Chain A
Amino acid sequence: MLYDLVIAPFADFEFMRRALAGTLALAFGAGPIGVFLMLRRMSLVGDAMAHAVLPGAAIGFLISGLNLFAMAAGGLIAGFIVAVAAGLIARATHLKEDASLAAFFIVSLALGVVIVSMKGTNIDLLHFLFGTVLALDNQTLVMIGLNATVTLLGLALIYRPLVLECVDPGFLRSVSRAGGVAHIAFLALLVVNLVSGFHALGTLLAVGIMILPAVTARFWARDITTMIAVAVAAGSFAGVAGLLVSYHSSAPSGPAIILVAGTVYALSVLFGRVDGLIWNLFPGRHLEA
């Protein structure tokens, strides 16, 4: 019974195994990135960047069809352009970075949809918007795995300045110039992960596998190391459970994964050990000291 429910779908179908490998790799890269996005108060920046990837990927698609490298390269380039351009506009004018990003991403989204529609069908458009986690080919799987590896190694390299720049920027600037470099490297890793997420979950849902596990982790952990571990675990669980839900109910798998992640988040808001609502309502009697 449990075997049929949990194991059989993956044992019997290769596309399910591929989807499983893809979502797990995605969760390992996206979890830590999401935690830093949240702690740097950049959650919405992540969302905006996710949409900014679309027109680049769409132009790749326009030029060479459903070619992984063209689409990934296009997405990376578009993501970097928007990140840099939004940063420059925010510095050169009185517009704040979030407002300038909001302007960029909504234009990017519209532009991307128009470009995809020029060549592709509505099915293609749906794939761009919501991903194709059940149709990951070898190349895409390798790319997602590679991106997750690069992300974890990259984060290990910039971990100290990234943390310290959030907590105590004045101190970091007094001991090291690594803060600015770390920020740019972090944005690059963000784009890399969004390109991964784009292939699996589409431009509209890619940021979900970053942010939902991260905000979930906030309710279970008090320090950043544990928080990252919880985020990876929550993302992985959402991946596996979401695929199973989608398999048994024939709901679309990308949205199913995000909905599971959303459910885990909602439960954490209620029952989370750190500042969860239930614990705050019934904290128990106060302690002696």
Chain B
Amino acid sequence: MTEQLRFRNLTLGYDRHPAVHHLNGAIASGSLTAVVGPNGAGKSTLFKGVVGVIRPLAGGIELNGVRPQDIAYLPQIADIDRSFPVNVYDMVAMGMWRRKGLFGAIGRKERDRVEAALAAVGLTGFEGRAIGTLSGGQMQRMLFARLLLQDARVIVLDEPFNAIDAKTSADLLALVRSWHAEQRTVLAALHDLDLVKANFPDALLLAREPVAWGPTATVLTDENILKARHMCEAFDEQAEACVAAA
């Protein structure tokens, strides 16, 4: 296997407190990996590290053959200001940022691509709608259309199916599977273990420290899940400096 991403003794966090602690391992190119773990386990933090939004406290992430801006990132919906007066078309067109940058014109060809992406997620006819008028599921469909336009080698999805109905989840999951079929590397943070077992070949069980990592069937055992649940959630304000970091 060729490695797409390698985590070397990676520690990520906030105010020196680790949220992901000493993570070692690699993501194979073209793999489809679910990142599973309780709230506060460091899933979102890990993704922010991968796309370069936050810097590691220690260790590092090696990107093989991609630049940070070549990784498509789906943030949690809560991070988006839905009251902002921008319409669906413009939001989706932002997916072409990497090619169009600050000033690139959106011409006939690009308009067709936006239309195609909207059609692929079932949002044809929503072009002019303000994003504040979309339902949760439509919002997520729109963000997937933007991901389609990003056309990235590596795709990172932060809780893509949260609070989304079964029909929408199924539609979006089909897109994820088609990305996998196209040999793109996909990482997704998920809570629905049955969905992970049915659709994701690999899984990383995270509870600040990595609990288990590998083929999904060997990772999501009852024993491992229990272990992850017992992780200590709160930061210890009096924590000593980590010895392993020295």
Give chain A's interface residues, CB within 8 Å of chain B.
39, 157-158, 160-161, 163-164, 166-171, 173-176, 178, 221-224, 227
Contact = CB atoms under 8 A, between A and B. Distances in A.
Closest 6 pairs between A and B when the two form their complex, measured CB to CB: A170-B75, A174-B73, A174-B51, A167-B84, A175-B97, A170-B79
Contacts of A171: 73, 75, 94, 146
B130 A160 contact: no
B235 interface: no
A174 B146 CA distance: 13
Contacts of B73: 170-171, 174
Contacts of A170: 48, 53, 73, 75, 79-80
Tell me which of A157, A168, A222, A223 has the highest count of chain B C-beta atoms within 10 A of its own C-beta.
A168
Interface in B58-94: 68-69, 71-73, 75, 79-81, 84-87, 90-91, 94
Contact of B80 (A39, A168, A222, A224): A168
Contact of A223 (B68, B79, B85): B85
B234 interface: no
Contact of B85 (A158, A173, A174, A221): A221
Given A163-B86, A167-B91, A223-B85, A174 B69 contact: yes
A167 B86 contact: yes
Contacts of B103: 157
A193 to B, nearest CB: 21
A234 to B, nearest CB: 16
B246 interface: no
Given A164-B94, A174-B51, A222-B130, A39 B84 contact: yes
A39 B79 CA distance: 16
B49 to A, nearest CB: 12
Nearest to A168: B80
A166 B84 contact: yes
23 contacts: A39-B85, A157-B103, A160-B94, A160-B97, A163-B86, A163-B90, A164-B94, A164-B97, A166-B81, A166-B84, A167-B80, A167-B131, A168-B94, A170-B48, A170-B80, A174-B52, A174-B68, A174-B69, A175-B69, A221-B85, A223-B87, A223-B130, A224-B86
B98 interface: yes
Given A167-B84, A222-B87, 12 more contacts: A39-B85, A158-B102, A163-B90, A167-B131, A168-B75, A168-B94, A171-B146, A173-B51, A174-B53, A174-B71, A174-B73, A224-B86
B130 A175 contact: no
A143 to B, nearest CB: 27
Contacts of A224: 84-86
B154 to A, nearest CB: 11
A175 B70 CA distance: 8
A222 B134 CA distance: 14
A227 B84 CA distance: 11
A164 B97 CA distance: 11
Given A166-B81, A174-B73, A223-B87, A160 B53 contact: no
Contacts of A221: 85
A191 to B, nearest CB: 22
B100 to A, nearest CB: 9
B69 A176 contact: yes
A163 B87 CA distance: 12
A110 B61 CA distance: 52
